[in-house]
A = this chain, B = another copy of it.
Amino acid sequence: MAELSVGEVAERSGVAVSALHFYERKGLIRSHRTGGNQRRFDREVLRRLAIIRMGQDLGVPLAEISEQLEMLPHDRAASKADWAKLSSRWRDRLDRRITLMTRLRDELTGCIGCGCLSLRNCPLYNREDSLAAEGAGPRRLLRSGRDVKALE
């Protein structure tokens, strides 16, 4: 039972079979086939799926998750160090996002006290009103995907 069928992967990962097909077409996961043309997955696919889910939870588009996964070796099985590198990249991303969200929450907390958004000096209000003036740079602080990337 070293190899998993598509149904088994679906069950263990909680990802629908149709989504697994889809991910395979997009190159996010890989399988080989039995004599009867059925997919067989290496157990490693479960780790990849965990990474994919995590990325999606962070609002990262599949294309970009795919890029991250591309950095894993194709020739040999991913080593401990490979996964560690990938993990630390994700952790950094999470860290940045947590920082941004925490800042937003604190501003919002302040605003609850101040009658939120109604005052000229409310940080949220000011942000909103001056967004367009910030020019071509990354305008939306928490924007997911590309814009988070833009902050890197």
The stretch that binds B, out of A19-27, A29-37, A63-71, A96-104, is: A96-104
Partner of A115, one of B12, B13, B80, B95: B80
Asked if A94 lies at the interface with its beta carbon under 8 angstroms from chain B, I say yes
Q: Chain A interface secondary structure, helix, strand, loop or mixed?
A: helix
Interface size class of chain A, counting residues whose CB lies under 8 Å from the partner chain: 35 or more
Asked if A143 lies at the interface with its beta carbon under 8 angstroms from chain B, I say yes
* Chain A 65-83 interface residues, beta-carbon cutoff 8 Å to B: 80, 83
**Complexed CA–CA distance, A12 and B54 (Å):** 34
Taking Cβ atoms with an 8 Å cutoff, the residues of A that contact B are 10-14, 46-47, 49-50, 53-54, 57, 59, 80, 83-84, 86-88, 90-91, 94-95, 97-98, 101-102, 104-105, 108-109, 111-112, 115-118, 124-125, 127-129, 131-132, 139-144
